[in-house]
Structure 1
Amino acid sequence: MRRRIAPILLTLVVVALGITALTARPDREAPGRTADFVVLAGVAGLRWEDVDPQTTPTLWRMAQDGSIGSLSVRSAHRPTCPVDGWLTLGAGSYAAWNGSRQSGGCPPAQVTVEQPDGIGANLPDQESVVLHNQERLPWGTVPGALSESVRCSVAVGPGAAVAAARPFGRVDRYAPALPADPAGLLGSCVLSIVDLGTVAGEDPVARAAAARAADARLARVLAARPPRSLVLVAGVSDTEAPSRLHVAVADGPGWERGWLTSASTGREGYLQLVDLAPTALTALGRPMPERLFLGRPAESVGGRPADLAAAIAAPADADREAAAQRRVADWFFTLLAGAQVLLAVAVLPLLRRARRHAGPYGPEPVSPRVVAVVELLLIAAALAVPAALLADAVPWWRGDHAGVYFAGVTVALLVAGTAVVRLAPGHAATLGPLGAVAGLTTLTVGMDVLTGARLQLNGVVGYSALEGGRYAGLGTVGLGVFLAGALLSAGWLAQRVRRSWRPPVMVAVGGAAVLVVGSPYLGADPIGAIALTAGLSVAAAISAGGWLTISRLAWATMAGLALTIGFAVLDLRRPAAERGSLGRFLAAVGDGTGGLTVHRSSTANFETLVNSPLTVLALAGALLVWFALLQPWGGLMRLFGIYPAMRAAMAGTAVAAVTGGVLGGDALDVAGAAAAVVVPMAALAALRVLDHSTDRTLPDAGRQRDEGPGGTGDGSGGDSGGGPDLPTPTGAGAGTRTPDRGAEPTAAPTPPAPRSPGPDTGAQGPTAGTAAGERAPAGRSSTEVTAS
């Protein structure tokens, strides 16, 4: 009865933890109406490094009184050229102007603006632009959705005309340039969009001159602004590759001296270009269009330094870090993938020769020094991603040679982490390095998440604000290494307790990880929490031994489905603007637009699959496991037989990583990040298990062990309560395997074969076929002792 009830109870616990994590939301008041007029003023290419009291005095005073932030200008085209930025601003969703593109740059804008009546304007190309965005791009964007949501709008300049044009091309009121006194024009409609110019190039003198001219036009706008108005100044686009973060300033009632943020970023001081359209409508008290914007209304939050220079230094530094991150991240993951592939190739001959032979003949064993060096390299490989994450605590991006500084800091941290694992107590045990690496990985990523995920934002192994995908919580790489570290830690701890306690230990540790991943206060990744729940259910089901049967797989599937359905139901009951990704997808399915979401996800999966170095890591890890470690000579099957909790942890990691990557649109990136931790540790543990493959059982040593304080009645080997990491018995049985309580002694104990010194794992498990007359220990199923 207990065996039948246990899966049900564990499923309920996992589901309850997951729903608790996913449904809790920070208490926030929804932004409301704050203005009677809104003026959106855009300057293509304007960055925070262009703003200072001498060059841009008007913008400086406006930033002093209002709220500021870093603007991510992602659109449907990369880089976001000026015409794409203006079109995205007016659409409230990722958009792009149709036409040819030059590689890595922005062609001159070719926008035709006709003025048939001298009041408004017409864009004859608008119809083809709408068709291009509706039929060829995966977001279903409607250009002109912002102007369609108000009765009347004003556009000043060609860029503003692109943003203000309705879907059929009509601009309500248009002026090709800003008049000397624009008061009448700006007060004629509740929404005005003004093109203040462009700041382009990298020449400081040219940029300063362009910024000064834009600031002079902004001074005329502020002098003529309507009463009770909100003025938003934004660097609406890039002007060349690579992308950068840009200026965002809001000035008006309720926007005093704060940081700009929105629900789409969840990070103070960060805003997206697609947030400007819903911000304008919310400030005016107007309803959103039926097809929701991708962006969310911005708001002002406190915590900004009183000194404006200090406040501006933060987004300017973030821009430098984000620019350096992209360059460094490419070669870091390329080197990591190459190093792990080379290391996997180097491990193969060691695996073939690691197995001890009981007879007088056999291949010469590998030198213990070589094995020790390879073990250190495997530990370093597994710690590479956590070390790179910690490296972002040092401002390496501020130097002229950012990549060199990052490499130096990462190598120093990697050496320190490897030394900690090597000198940790229990390193000589079979699972000692694995447990230490898993614990360090979980602790590193977990502490970063608990402190606001500041190391992942714009970090080399984190996520970039320039990509516009994530600004807070766990990123793709962070999710992969965290779920791998958490499940391996859970398996390592579960292996040290009695068999009946292993599933609860897995659920306790894994459930805490689900809370960290899914909580909107912490990881803010509901897809990752659902995937981790599925992997945890699999791990808990087989942690006590045996294989993944149909019934166990059914309970694991039910846990994942129950969590998904429970969260979906609660998420759909929220207001549309507060729903998560799952709730928005189900709502889109209900109104017939869910195909766009599926198309976007499949497109993202394919692009990530073919372009990411993490794909190489995932595939190389899978090949090493399948064609080497899982072979009779590879040692992993033997490891799984002796340590069933570790088999459960690795199986759960595979399920969670693949599920999270596919559902999140990250293809094999999550699996690649998890493989960077799991595969080196699996190879190291397999080497150590093979090193003890000829250990024999002695009945006297078994009785001593059963009578000693470490005996639990569940066996003294890897499947015991504390067996794998306890010291080896001394005396005649030193270096030998001790049987489980109740096991029949072997008819003729065989003395251990001569062997070179190596890491002492305590008491290692026997395998069928190592010697005639050996038996599987009592109390363990035959599936837990695999043939060598």
Structure 2
Amino acid sequence: MLRRVAPVLLTLVVVVLGITALAAGPQAPPPQRSADYVVLVGVAGLRWDDVDAERTPTLWRMARDGSIGSLSVRSAYRPTCPLDGWLTLGAGSFAGWSGARPGGECPPAEVTVEEPDRIGANLPEQEGVVLHNQERLPWGTVPGALSESVRCSVAVGPGAAVAAARPFGRVDRYEPTLPADPAGLLGSCVLSIVDLGTVAGTDESVRAAAARAADAQLARVLAARPPNSLVIVAGVSDTQRPSRLHLAIADGPGWEDGWLTSPTTGRRGYLQLIDIAPTALTVLGRPMPDRPFLGRPAESVGGRPDDLAAAIAEPADADREAAAQREVAGDFFTLLAVVQVVLAVAVLPLLRRARRHAGPHGPKPVSRRVVATVEVLLVAAALAIPAALLAEAVPWWRNAYPAASFAALTAVLLAATTLLVRLAPGYGTTLGPLGAVAGLTTLAVGLDVVTGARLQLNGVIGYSALEGGRYAGLGTVGLGVFVAAALLTAGWLAQQVRRSWRPMVMVTVGGAAVVVVGSPYLGADSIGAIALTAGVSVAAAISAGGWLTLTRLAWAAMAGLAVTVGFAVVDLDRAPAERGSLGRFLAALGDGTGGLTVQRSSAANFDTLVNSPLTVLAVVGALLVWFALLQPWGGLMRLFGIYPAIRAAMAGTGVAAGIGGVLGASALDVAGAAAAVVVPMAALSALRVLDHAADRTRPATDRPQDAVAAGGARCSGAGSVGADGAAGPVGDDAATAAAAEGARPADVVVPGDGGGSPTDEGRRPGRGRGRTLRSSAEVATG
């Protein structure tokens, strides 16, 4: 009865941990009105490296007095061209201007602005733009939602007219250029949007001149700003490929000397363009529109350096790092995929010839030196992603040749970590390398997440702020690697204890991993936590023996579903502006717009599936496992039979990676990252267990007659022969398995078909999948 109830109780423990991790979150204070006027100033293409104390003194003083941050200008299109940026600013959601984009480059920013009454203006193209965003783009954005939420708005310049135009095209008050004295205009409405031009090109002198002109106009705006007003300056768009991070400054009551952030980024010093519209309404104390913004209100937080030059250097450095990451990441994962494919091909003949024949005749075994070299290469392949993560601790992107610097640094760290595993105690045992690699990987990724995930932000194996998908917590690649490493670590630890304690070990380590992945303070990945909950439930259920049956798979699915439902109930109970992705999706289902989310997720899955090198890793890993390692000659079935906790860990990894990829709109990226760690270790462990497959029990004895009797017994077939024709594993593998089970040397059980547990307490000899090897004394006495 205890064995039947234990999986249920442990599953409940994992579910409770998952819901607790996801539900815990900072309580945001209710938004309060803090200003009577808001002035939004946009300069397309403006970046932090355009700001200088002498060239742009107004921006410099404003940054000194206000709050600053890096602005991600993601819109419905990439790159975000000026009209896309202005439209997104006024919509509070990802929007895009209709029209052709030859070669993917930004077309001229031309918009027709009619002035029929010399007071306001009209955009005749607005109706078509609204239909384009509602019917052709998957975000369901309502252009002009910001201006629709206030009684009156002012626009200065054509870009500002795009942002301020209501859905039917009307701009309340409009001026094509900034008046000589703009005080009356800026004070006529609670919301003003000002277009100060564009800073474009790669020529430093041209950019400097454009930035100087925009700075001079900004000085006139600040001189004429209404009393008790908030002024936000933003580099609202890119001007060419590739995308960059841009400038954001907020100056007003309550925004002094801080970093800008918002719930959409969760990262100090980072803001999204879609956050500006809800910020303006929150500051003015106005309600949000009926269809919620995708953006969230920004806020100012402390921790900024006292030296303004040092403070400005941080977002400028982040822009350089993000640009370098984009150039290096694709090559790194492509090279990793190629190397792992080559290793997979090289391992195949070694697996075929790894089993040593007991008789005097047989094929010549592969050289030990060759096998040892391949094993070291497999360890290095499994440690490649952790080494690349650790390389982010050194600012390689600041060098003149960032790609070469990253490659050299990663190679050094990879060699060091591989040597550390090679010299670790227990490397010569079957599971020694697996345990060391899994432990190091779990430690590297886990410590990074616990300390703020600084190595993943704009990192090669992390996520880029330019993409606008994630700014904090655990990224897609980090999730796959961490899930695989944590479960393998749990399996290795569980294999060291008695069988009855293994599920508890799996739940303890796996539950801690669920908290790390799902906590809003740490990994902040609710989908990953749900997927890992299912994986841990599977691993705990089969860690003591047995296979992944439909019943156990159903328990795992129920556990993931329970966490999903529990978190959904908690998330839906929060205010709309504070809900997570799951709560917003369920709310969208309620108002009939959930299909847009499903459409975006499907499109993202397909795009990732066909364009990501990690897809190759996932597919090649699956092929190697299915057509080689799981074959009778492949060794993995034998490994699973001797070490059921490792089998449980790998099964749980497969379940978690599959669920996390599909639900997280990352296709096979999570599975590919997990395979980069699991498959090399599975191949290495299979080589080790096959190398011991022909070993025989060597009973310790001091009497020559006992040794002779034991030798005769071995020759007469006392050893167990498996279904694939090989003698049962003893020596290293059987001793380890016996120690893990607490069995006596005389009770070591050899699986007959590679599918059972090495011992079976309470089972009579001769029954089940294995047979009991008798001790030397029993053999000698018959």
TM-score by length of 2: 0.92
2:668 & 2:630 partners in 1: Cα distance? 21
Q: From the superposition, tell whether residues 359 and 250 of structure 1 become closer, same or farther in structure 2 (CA, over 3 Å).
A: same
Does residue 493 of structure 2 align to residue 521 of structure 1?
Answer: no
Does the aligned pair in 2 maintain the 1:640–1:784 contact within 8 Å? no
Amino acid at match of 2:119: I
Aligned to 1:614: 614
Does residue 283 of structure 2 align to residue 283 of structure 1?
Answer: yes
Does the aligned pair in 1 maintain the 2:19–2:567 contact within 8 Å? yes
Name the SS of the counterpart of 2:247 in structure 1: strand
2:331 & 2:414 partners in 1: Cα distance? 17
Aligned to 1:111: 111
1:696 & 1:761 partners in 2: Cα distance? 11
Does residue 303 of structure 2 align to residue 331 of structure 1?
Answer: no
**1:69-100 Cα shifts (integer Å, max 9, x gaps):** 00000001101011100010011111111111
Which residues of 2 match residues 198-209 of structure 1 at below 5 A?
Answer: 198-209=198-209
Which residues of 2 match residues 108-187 of structure 1 at below 5 A?
Answer: 108-187=108-187
Name the SS of the counterpart of 2:195 in structure 1: strand
**1:338-393 Cα shifts (integer Å, max 9, x gaps):** 11011101111101111122222221100000000000000000000000000000
Name the SS of the counterpart of 1:275 in structure 2: helix
Aligned to 1:779: 761
Q: From the superposition, tell whether residues 518 and 784 of structure 1 become closer, same or farther in structure 2 (CA, over 3 Å).
A: farther
Name the SS of the counterpart of 1:763 in structure 2: helix
Aligned to 1:482: 482
4+ runs deviating over 4 angstroms = 744-748, 750-755, 758-762, 764-771, 774-778, 780-786
**1:190-222 Cα shifts (integer Å, max 9, x gaps):** 110000110001111000000000001101100
Q: From the superposition, tell whether residues 104 and 401 of structure 1 become closer, same or farther in structure 2 (CA, over 3 Å).
A: farther
Does the aligned pair in 1 maintain the 2:258–2:303 contact within 8 Å? yes
1:751 & 1:157 partners in 2: Cα distance? 86
Measure how far apart 1:553 and its partner are: 2.0
Aligned to 2:320: 320
**1:405-441 Cα shifts (integer Å, max 9, x gaps):** 0000000000000000000000011000000000000
Amino acid at match of 1:123: L
Measure how far apart 1:777 and its partner are: 5.2
Deviates more, 1:157-166 or 1:26-35: 26-35
Does the aligned pair in 1 maintain the 2:545–2:757 contact within 8 Å? no
2:404 & 2:760 partners in 1: Cα distance? 57
Measure how far apart 1:768 and its partner are: 5.8
Which residues of 2 match residues 219-618 of structure 1 at below 5 A?
Answer: 219-618=219-618
Does the aligned pair in 1 maintain the 2:35–2:230 contact within 8 Å? yes
1:80 & 1:560 partners in 2: Cα distance? 38
Which residues of 2 match residues 716-755 of structure 1 at below 5 A?
Answer: 748-749=717-718
**1:454-489 Cα shifts (integer Å, max 9, x gaps):** 000000000000000100000000000001000000
Q: From the superposition, tell whether residues 754 and 566 of structure 1 become closer, same or farther in structure 2 (CA, over 3 Å).
A: closer
2:762 & 2:619 partners in 1: Cα distance? 34
Aligned to 2:776: none
Deviates more, 1:193-202 or 1:2-11: 2-11
Measure how far apart 1:32 and its partner are: 1.9
Name the SS of the counterpart of 1:428 in structure 2: coil
Does the aligned pair in 2 maintain the 1:138–1:600 contact within 8 Å? yes
Does the aligned pair in 2 maintain the 1:449–1:474 contact within 8 Å? yes
Q: From the superposition, tell whether residues 561 and 688 of structure 1 become closer, same or farther in structure 2 (CA, over 3 Å).
A: same
Measure how far apart 1:769 and its partner are: 6.4
Q: CA RMSD in A?
A: 2.5
Which residues of 2 match residues 612-691 of structure 1 at below 5 A?
Answer: 612-691=612-691
Aligned to 2:58: 58
Q: From the superposition, tell whether residues 371 and 760 of structure 1 become closer, same or farther in structure 2 (CA, over 3 Å).
A: farther
Does the aligned pair in 1 maintain the 2:391–2:410 contact within 8 Å? yes
Does the aligned pair in 2 maintain the 1:66–1:257 contact within 8 Å? yes
Does residue 735 of structure 2 align to residue 763 of structure 1?
Answer: yes
Amino acid at match of 1:145: A
Does the aligned pair in 1 maintain the 2:442–2:482 contact within 8 Å? yes
Does the aligned pair in 2 maintain the 1:63–1:249 contact within 8 Å? yes
2:317 & 2:112 partners in 1: Cα distance? 38
**1:652-674 Cα shifts (integer Å, max 9, x gaps):** 00000110011011111000000
Does residue 27 of structure 2 align to residue 27 of structure 1?
Answer: yes
Does residue 189 of structure 2 align to residue 189 of structure 1?
Answer: yes
Deviates more, 1:325-334 or 1:357-366: 357-366
Aligned to 1:12: 12
Aligned to 1:741: none
Amino acid at match of 1:779: E
Q: From the superposition, tell whether residues 30 and 778 of structure 1 become closer, same or farther in structure 2 (CA, over 3 Å).
A: closer
Q: How many residues align?
A: 746
Q: From the superposition, tell whether residues 754 and 83 of structure 1 become closer, same or farther in structure 2 (CA, over 3 Å).
A: closer
Measure how far apart 1:105 and its partner are: 2.2
**1:609-631 Cα shifts (integer Å, max 9, x gaps):** 11111111111101111111111
Name the SS of the counterpart of 2:735 in structure 1: coil
1:549 & 1:651 partners in 2: Cα distance? 11
Amino acid at match of 1:526: S
2:392 & 2:768 partners in 1: Cα distance? 45
1:784 & 1:438 partners in 2: Cα distance? 30
Q: From the superposition, tell whether residues 649 and 75 of structure 1 become closer, same or farther in structure 2 (CA, over 3 Å).
A: same
Does the aligned pair in 1 maintain the 2:79–2:242 contact within 8 Å? yes
Does residue 210 of structure 2 align to residue 210 of structure 1?
Answer: yes
Does the aligned pair in 1 maintain the 2:91–2:163 contact within 8 Å? yes
Does the aligned pair in 1 maintain the 2:751–2:769 contact within 8 Å? no
Name the SS of the counterpart of 1:103 in structure 2: helix
Measure how far apart 1:775 and its partner are: 13
1:287 & 1:745 partners in 2: Cα distance? 84
**1:19-61 Cα shifts (integer Å, max 9, x gaps):** 1101111233233211111000000000000001111101111
Does the aligned pair in 2 maintain the 1:352–1:634 contact within 8 Å? yes
Name the SS of the counterpart of 1:41 in structure 2: strand
1:776 & 1:617 partners in 2: Cα distance? 32
1:767 & 1:575 partners in 2: Cα distance? 59
Does the aligned pair in 2 maintain the 1:429–1:762 contact within 8 Å? no
Measure how far apart 1:732 and its partner are: 6.2
Amino acid at match of 1:763: A
Q: From the superposition, tell whether residues 780 and 215 of structure 1 become closer, same or farther in structure 2 (CA, over 3 Å).
A: farther
Structure 1, unmatched stretches of 5+, are: 705-730, 737-743
Measure how far apart 1:760 and its partner are: 5.5
Does the aligned pair in 2 maintain the 1:147–1:165 contact within 8 Å? yes
**1:315-340 Cα shifts (integer Å, max 9, x gaps):** 00000000000000010000001110
Measure how far apart 1:764 and its partner are: 6.8
2:115 & 2:586 partners in 1: Cα distance? 44
Aligned to 1:715: none
Q: From the superposition, tell whether residues 767 and 112 of structure 1 become closer, same or farther in structure 2 (CA, over 3 Å).
A: same
Measure how far apart 1:110 and its partner are: 2.4
Measure how far apart 1:117 and its partner are: 1.1
Q: From the superposition, tell whether residues 732 and 152 of structure 1 become closer, same or farther in structure 2 (CA, over 3 Å).
A: farther
Measure how far apart 1:300 and its partner are: 0.3
2:234 & 2:726 partners in 1: Cα distance? 75
Name the SS of the counterpart of 2:652 in structure 1: helix
TM-score by length of 1: 0.91
Does the aligned pair in 2 maintain the 1:696–1:751 contact within 8 Å? no
1:572 & 1:268 partners in 2: Cα distance? 26
1:269 & 1:667 partners in 2: Cα distance? 30
Measure how far apart 1:779 and its partner are: 3.0
Name the SS of the counterpart of 2:155 in structure 1: strand
Measure how far apart 1:770 and its partner are: 9.8
1:645 & 1:694 partners in 2: Cα distance? 23
**1:669-728 Cα shifts (integer Å, max 9, x gaps):** 000000000000000000001111112245x45x99xxxxxxxxxxxxxxxxxxxxxxxx
**1:216-247 Cα shifts (integer Å, max 9, x gaps):** 11011001101110000000000111100000
Structure 2, unmatched stretches of 5+, are: 738-748, 772-782
